[in-house]
């Protein structure tokens, strides 16, 4: 991978912050930076193509529609879905999970039914289900984690009852960096006749995803975490499931015919896409997926794994360093604490040294409770990060540690 030419595609990486040059951006788990290819494709569409999709007979509308539907095909290919009918554009992982929770909850669940989630879930994969739970009287069952941050698979198997209707778990934890054994999780659930939703927000940017090979029933991810624009994301669903679910929102685009007496719904995927979609963001997302595909997801994964291993080794040299999550097979996110330095102080001081990391509970408060902490500092890596940036992080943490 030619890192210096890749870095040139991301102008923001050349910014000077607090007179520190160049910025070391290690908050990629929250959102990644955008390459020129994405931003320019979106400006180009606004300047030269813009028109509402699916509705117009005129040239621009047809061109915009073609681009939008081509983007859907790009997403389909990227995650190897069987059909574009299985690709629903949403605003992101959060909306994708809410869509499934709401529609699946309404159509498939009754009082007393259960959803299995895990102790390491992001709030979006907890609260979405709690909303349904409150409405429908269903229950959340929680897969516990081990002390080194892995799912207890024995306990998982024990959670299934005749009331289990769905399993919804993260592919990769945004806090612990754990790569969950989703193949086993899905197989076990299917053995019980239960479908599975995978939250791929933190896996999609870092490894090749093949939804057919995974055999998951639903898969959610966000564009902005994989070098694409904000406000666009994807819900993959097997056609057989999407066909059985009711629409999520009502409005234009999702209908076939409307009367006050009887309304019929559009076919997939439009049934789930009420209103004008963000057709410029779908172009941006497609260009982002083209961008990572041209480099190769396998090469990105190898580069980031190497960086993560290097970062963990170097960070463990720091006195008082505690890294959360498994020490091997760790994805590109490292949550840590140093001695009793408060994570907010650590993050603020690192920022002043030109290093952007994240601090806090990372939208995973139940996991924080399990770990008995209030929050962590978190460094997360992307394809453009370098070993030199890890060195800068380590020496900055060292400097902060000496200050305390
Ligand atoms: N799940 C996980 C594991 C995440 O890391 C995030 C984002 N931090 C989300 C869901 C929610 O993603 P978004 O805010 O893009 O909807």
The CB of 32 under 6 Å from ligand 1? The reply is no
- Give the chain's domains with CATH numbers: 3-30+296-403 (3.90.1150.10), 40-294 (3.40.640.10)
Q: How far is 94 from 234, CA to CA, in rounded Å?
A: 10
What pLDDT does residue 1 have? 83
Ligand 1: residue of 101, 122, 197 to mutate (most ligand atoms within 8 A of CB) is: 122
Instruction: Identify the pLDDT of residue 367.
Output: 97
248 touches 110 (CB < 8 A): no
Q: Is 152 a catalytic residue?
A: no
Mean pLDDT value across residues 10-32? 95
Q: pTM of the predicted model, to two decimals?
A: 0.98
| 314 Cα distance to chain centroid | 27
Instruction: Read off the pLDDT of each residue in 323-346 and give the average, rounded to a whole number.
Output: 96
pLDDT exceeds cutoff 90 at 56: no
Q: pLDDT grade, residue 255 (50/70/90)?
A: very high
Choose among 380, 342, 381: nearest CA to 358: 380
Range 170-197 average pLDDT: 98
**Per-residue model confidence as pLDDT tens digits over 90-110:** 999 999 999 999 999 999 999
pLDDT at 220 over 90: yes
Q: Where are the alpha helices (DSSP H) in 177-296?
A: 182-191, 211-214, 239-244, 279-295
Angle at 368 between CA 362 and CA 372, to 5 degrees: 150
Q: Are 387 and 307 in contact (CB under 8 A)?
A: yes
Ligand 1 pocket, residue 266 CB under 6 Å = no
Average pLDDT over residues 175-195: 98
Any ligand 1 atom below 6 A from CB of 170: yes
Question: What pLDDT does residue 21 have?
Answer: 86
**112-148, pLDDT tens digit by residue?**
999 999 999 999 999 999 999 999 999 999 999 999 9
- The alpha carbon of 93 and the centre of ligand 1 are apart by a number of angstroms equal to 6
Whether residue 55 has pLDDT greater than 90: no
In sign, the C-alpha dihedral spanning 271, 277, 279, 280 is negative
Calculate mean pLDDT across residues 69-82: 98
Rg (CA), the chain: 22
Of 182, 202, 218, the one to substitute when testing ligand 1's pocket (max ligand atoms within 8 A of C-beta) is 202
Centre of ligand 1 to C-alpha 30, Å, is 8
Q: Residue range 353-370: average pLDDT?
A: 97
Q: What is the DSSP string of 264-308?
A: EE--TTGGG--S---HHHHHHHHHHHHHHHHH-HHHHHHHHHHHH
Treating both helix axes as pointing N-terminal to C-terminal, what angle do 36-48 and 279-295 enclose, rounded to 10 degrees? Answer: 150
Q: What pLDDT is recorded for position 385?
A: 98
Instruction: Look up tokens 């409307």; give the residue.
Output: 258
Among 166, 162, 160, smallest CA distance to 100 is for 166
- Please tell me the residue having the least CA distance from ligand 1 atom 8: 30
């Amino acid at each position: 991978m030619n890192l210096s030419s890749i870095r040139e595609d991301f102008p923001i990486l050349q910014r000077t912050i607090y007179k520190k040059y160049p910025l070391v951006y290690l908050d990629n788990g929250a959102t990644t930076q955008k390459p020129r290819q994405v931003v320019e494709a979106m400006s180009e569409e606004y300047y030269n193509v813009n028109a509402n999709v699916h509705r117009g007979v005129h040239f621009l509308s047809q061109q915009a529609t073609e681009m939008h539907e081509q983007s859907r095909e790009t997403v389909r290919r990227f995650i190897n879905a069987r059909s574009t009918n299985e690709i629903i554009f949403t605003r992101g992982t959060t909306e994708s999970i809410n869509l499934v929770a709401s529609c699946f909850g309404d159509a498939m669940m009754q009082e007393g039914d259960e959803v299995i989630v895990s102790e390491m879930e992001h709030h979006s994969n907890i609260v979405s289900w709690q909303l349904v739970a409150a409405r429908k009287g269903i229950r959340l069952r929680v897969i516990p984690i081990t002390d080194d941050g892995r799912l207890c698979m024995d306990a998982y198997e024990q959670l299934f009852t005749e009331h289990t209707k769905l399993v919804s778990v993260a592919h990769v934890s945004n806090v612990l960096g754990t790569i969950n054994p989703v193949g086993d999780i899905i197989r076990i659930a299917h053995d019980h006749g239960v479908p599975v939703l995978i939250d791929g927000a933190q896996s999609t940017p870092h490894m090749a995803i093949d939804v057919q090979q995974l055999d998951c029933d639903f898969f959610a991810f966000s564009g902005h975490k994989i070098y694409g624009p904000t406000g666009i994301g994807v819900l993959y669903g097997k056609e057989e499931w999407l066909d059985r679910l009711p629409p999520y929102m009502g409005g234009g685009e999702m209908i076939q015919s409307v009367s006050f007496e009887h309304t019929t719904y559009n076919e997939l995927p439009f049934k789930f896409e009420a209103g004008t979609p963000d057709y410029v963001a779908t172009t941006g997302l497609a260009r982002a997926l083209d961008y990572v595909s041209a480099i190769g997801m396998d090469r990105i994964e190898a580069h980031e794994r190497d960086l993560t291993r290097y970062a963990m080794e170097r960070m463990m040299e720091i006195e008082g360093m505690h890294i959360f999550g498994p020490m091997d097979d760790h994805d590109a996110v490292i949550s840590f604490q140093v001695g009793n330095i408060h994570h907010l102080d650590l993050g603020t001081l690192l920022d002043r040294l030109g290093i952007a990391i994240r601090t806090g509970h990372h939208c995973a408060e139940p996991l924080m409770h399990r770990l008995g902490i209030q929050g962590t500092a978190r460094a997360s890596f992307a394809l453009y990060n370098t070993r030199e940036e890890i060195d800068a992080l380590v020496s900055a943490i060292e400097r902060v540690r000496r200050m305390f």
